Chain A
């Protein structure tokens, strides 16, 4: 069964450093998303991406964050100047349509720890 692949599975970074989280969405999907989940809290939407541009973003997704699809397969989330409160699980998801009958397919996540 096709899956969304995220790397690395765990990233530890110093406060103030930049990190890039990587995702390979399902190949025939056109819509891509980043969500995050702080430990013990709910899954929160960050950004959606379609046709090489951001289609929607939440209040969390400020100037510190950026997304990119550098080639035909990868989808990345960059966090500039990380803060302690950026520590969370970051999930990438993809879908074939904006309102997909089969929902979003999520990756297993990258656990980001900012120290």
Chain B
């Protein structure tokens, strides 16, 4: 069955550093992958969408990569700030035989220390 893995351990980094979060998926080949931010008790907030034919996507301090060979997406936040502290969710979907409804990983908690 389709499986999405995000690091369950919280990532602790110092302000100003680059945070890198990983999303691995197995048993399918999604054509799209979304990243969301979720704050405690709130709904997910969309950040970026990357397509299988795009190796990299950027938006301000955010960068997402999509390696269909490794079945992995990396999410980077450069010059991180304490306000970036949240849980980050990846949601792959689409592709041959896949649903076009995003399926969320468990998320990785990011804590940025001042």
Residues of A whose CB lies within 8 Å of any CB of B are 4, 33, 35, 41-45, 48, 56, 89, 91, 93, 98-109, 111
Cβ-based interface call for B7 (8 A):
no
B13-21, B41-49, B76-84: which one contacts chain A? B41-49
Query: Chain B residues with Cβ under 8 A from A4's Cβ?
Result: 43
Closest CB in chain A relative to B30 CB, distance in Å: 11
**B105 & A42 in contact (Cβ 8 Å cutoff):** yes
A43 touches B44 (CB 8 A): yes
Q: Are A91 and B106 in contact (CB under 8 A)?
A: no
CA distance A91 to B43 in the complex (A): 7
Tally of A-B residue pairs with Cβ under 8 A? Answer: 54
Nearest chain B CB to A101's CB is how many angstroms away?
6
B64: Cβ under 8 A from any A Cβ: no
Q: Report A-chain residues with C-beta under 8 Å of the C-beta of B34.
A: 103-104
Interface size class of B (residues with CB under 8 A): 20 to 34
| B12 on interface, CB distance cutoff 8 Å | no
A108 lies within 8 A of B99 (CB): no
Inter-chain contacts of B36 with A (CB < 8 A): 103
Output the least CB separation between A88 and chain B (Å).
Answer: 12
> What are 16 inter-chain pairs, A to B, with CB distance below 8 A?
A4-B43, A35-B104, A42-B106, A43-B44, A44-B104, A56-B99, A56-B100, A99-B32, A99-B94, A104-B34, A104-B44, A106-B43, A106-B45, A107-B43, A109-B41, A109-B43
A-B interface, 3 closest residue pairs, ranked by CB to CB distance from nearest: A103-B46, A106-B43, A43-B104
B46 and A102 contacting across the interface, CB-CB below 8 Å: yes
- Name which residue of chain B comes closest to A100, CB basis: B49
Select from chain A the residue with minimum beta-carbon distance to B105.
A42
Residues of B within 8 A of A108 (CB): 42-43
Minimum Cβ distance to chain A for residue B13 (Å):
23
Q: Which residue of B lies closest to A102 (CB)?
A: B46
The verdict on A42 contacting B104 (CB below 8 Å), with A93-B43, A103-B36, A107-B43 known, is yes
